[in-house]
Amino acid sequence: MTTIKLHNTKTRKKEVFTPLDPDNVRMYVCGPTVYDRAHLGNARPVIVFDVLFRLLRHVYGPEHVTYVRNFTDVDDKINARAIETVGEGGDVNAEIARITGMTTQWFLDDMGALGALEPTQMPRATQYIGQMIEMIGGLIADGHAYEAEGHVLFSVESYKNYGALSGRSVDDMIAGARVEVAPYKRNPMDFVLWKPSSDDLPGWDSPWGRGRPGWHIECSAMAYELLGESFDIHGGGNDLMFPHHENEIAQSCCAHPEGGFAQVWMHNEMLQVEGKKMSKSLGNFFTVHDLLEQGYPGEVIRFVFLSTHYRKPMDWTEAKAREAEKTLRKWRAATQDAEPGRVSDKFISTLSDDLNTSEALSELHRMYRTLQRAEKDPKQDAFVPGLRSNLLASARFLGLLDAEMGYWAAAPEADLSGLETQLFQARQTAIDTKDFSEVDRLKSALVEAGVEVRMSKEGVELVPGAGFDPAKLEGLE
């Protein structure tokens, strides 16, 4: 059987992965808080753990892998967004239901467009409130949590390994962190398991009054319910390592001292844009949906993500996206009529080395070059179909060259910039002369050729559509 090696944040080492039960390999990944579109950074853990999910399914069999990724649908940020959009006197709860429902679907659509398989289970936090209450009750009973002014807090001093994952001591944390100092906390690092809710906000009856859960307990309760007290892999972005994952460990290990919670912790590094942190104030913030709308095929976005190893910071650049698109066009053309064949052992062993996706892409490049050489050499004719099939199968293993994603590749390449300038100038002239016949002639010829014409004051944009036929543009310029 293939040996998979994974870097474990807990031990800071790359280790041979040995599942607790090879008949049911279990993975939990922290999912999104649903109140807005997923930004490009949010796609990184989705794609990284999608590749791992595919690899685990390949090695252990699809029916032997359980992948859980939650939706956080109760959160202060959701409440704040709903209050903002519904306005004074509106029904906040109804607005919350609308926002979480809509953005959950957006998330699934956008991640589907990036070729991510759906996890085995996608629990929503609000469906597991009972389990959270039960877990919190147990923590209080065992002296790991206490009630104060309608809140329930986890006592970090009650868990001796608190801080082990991120390698900090409680004293360091207090010195370095901007912690919320609340008078009811015994230790400034104690964190909220349950908090009171006002009547107009979502709340559930509990032994500590009407309230709602803290964020960390949600993941602990859902992971326990769906995967048990010990499971194999827990993943997320490295921004979640502290405090979120540290708190998950504290809660789960104290609630279920016999279990080990997650054996392997995996963290992806952050995404940047053109060398800078992506942020609204720098004007380089965008969502996955923005990019898809701009015409980037999901597959091109996915390729760019795969080209950087998950434990390295990743830079999204236009140049990389253009390069990815060129490569994918070549590979698609080369495998057009092929049936997927065998995924090579080399390819699988590359991915099994702590998900070396960038090296796996290099392997695809090599396979493509081998195919090209064979196509040019009559002596190698017999090998061509097999090489094509293997390239297709290996690319598909990574979620690329999917038939479903293929519509975009059908459009032949064409440089329409000359026609854009020509149409823009024709329109400027027409505004002066009041004679629009040349503009109309160009426009109808373009539409006839399957090109969408977008005109604004700033300029003209020509977008080839699905039925684009460049032959019909000949002689127009």
Residues 6+ apart with CB under 8 A from 259: 228, 229, 230, 252, 253
Dihedral, 122, 126, 129, 130 alpha carbons, nearest 10: -80
Percent of the chain that is helix, strand, coil (3-state, to 5): 50, 15, 35
**Residue from 8, 33, 220, 308 in contact with ligand AMP (CB under 6 A):** 33
Stretch that binds ligand AMP, among 27-35, 176-184, 326-334, 387-395 (CB under 6 A): 27-35
Residue span 364-403 as binding mask against ligand AMP, x where in contact by CB under 6 A, dash where not: ----------------------------------------
The nearer residue to ligand AMP, 28 or 331, going by C-beta atoms, is 28
Least distance in angstroms from the C-beta of 43 to ligand AMP: 8
Q: Which range touches ligand AMP (CB under 6 A), out of 143-151, 233-241, 356-364, 388-396? A: 233-241
How far is 361 from 440, CA to CA, in rounded Å? 46
The residue range among 140-148, 231-239, 297-305, 349-357 that interacts with ligand AMP, by the rule CB under 6 A, is 231-239
Query: Taking CB under 5 A as the rule, does residue 300 contact Zn ion?
Result: no
Residues contacting residue 274 through CB under 8 Å, at least 6 positions apart:
284, 315, 316, 317, 318
What is the per-residue binding string for Zn ion in 242-261, x denoting contact by CB under 5 A? Answer: --------------------
Q: Is 401 in the site for Zn ion (CB under 5 A)?
A: no
Q: Are strands 230-237 and 211-213 parallel, antiparallel or unpaired?
A: unpaired
Q: Which is nearer to Zn ion, 219 or 273 (CB)?
A: 219
Contacts to Zn ion from residues 168-227, by CB under 5 A: 219
Q: Work out how close the CB of 235 gets to ligand AMP at its nearest, in angstroms, rounded to a whole number.
A: 8
The helix-helix angle for 92-113 and 43-60 (nearest 10°) equals 60
CB atoms near residue 461 (< 10 Å): 15
Pairing verdict, β 191-196 and 451-455: unpaired
How many CB atoms within 10 Å of residue 208? 20
Enter the DSSP assignment of 245.
Answer: I
For residues 7-36, which are near Zn ion according to CB under 5 A? 30
CB of 278 to ligand AMP, least distance (A): 6
Stretch 64-83 residues interacting with ligand AMP (CB under 6 A): none
Minimum Å gap between C-beta 337 and ligand AMP is: 38
Considering only the stretches 2-10, 39-47, 175-183, 285-293, report the one whose residues sit in contact with ligand AMP under the rule CB under 6 A. 39-47
Contact 69, 31 (CB under 8 A): yes
Question: What's the Cα-to-Cα distance from 450 to each of 297, 329, 410, 467, 470, rounded to whole Å?
Answer: 18, 20, 13, 5, 9
Structure token digits, residue 146: 């206490």
- Report the partner that residue 42 touches, choosing among Zn ion, ligand AMP, none (CB closer than 5 to 8 A by kind): ligand AMP
Nearer to Zn ion, 219 or 226 (CB): 219
Using a 10 angstrom Cβ sphere, with 0-12 exposed, 13-18 middle and 19 or more buried, the burial of residue 384 is middle
The CA angle 345-347-349, to the nearest 5 degrees, is: 65
Distance from CA of residue 415 to its chain's centroid? 32
Residue 44 interaction partner, one of Zn ion, ligand AMP, none, beta carbon < 5-8 Å per kind: ligand AMP
- Interface segment toward ligand AMP; rule CB under 6 A; list 237-245, 358-366, 388-396, 437-445: 237-245
Q: Tell which one of 19, 123, 211, 237 touches ligand AMP (CB under 6 A).
A: 237
Residue (of 125, 309, 102) closest to 202 by Cα position: 125
Nearest 5°: phi and psi at 45? -60, -35
Q: Are 392 and 341 within 8 A, CB to CB?
A: yes
Q: Which is nearer to ligand AMP, 14 or 77 (CB)?
A: 77
Residue numbers 252-291 binding ligand AMP by CB under 6 A: 268, 270-271, 278
| CA–CA separation, 461 and 465 (whole Å) | 12
Residue 399 near which of ligand AMP, Zn ion, none (CB within 5-8 Å, type-dependent) = none
- Candidates 26, 44, 168, 332; binder of ligand AMP (CB under 6 A) is 44
Site size toward Zn ion (CB under 5 A) is 2
Which residue lies nearer to ligand AMP by CB, 289 or 396? 289
Residue numbers of the site for Zn ion (CB under 5 A)? 30, 219
Residue numbers of the site for ligand AMP (CB under 6 A)? 30, 32-33, 41-42, 44-45, 236-237, 239-240, 268, 270-271, 278
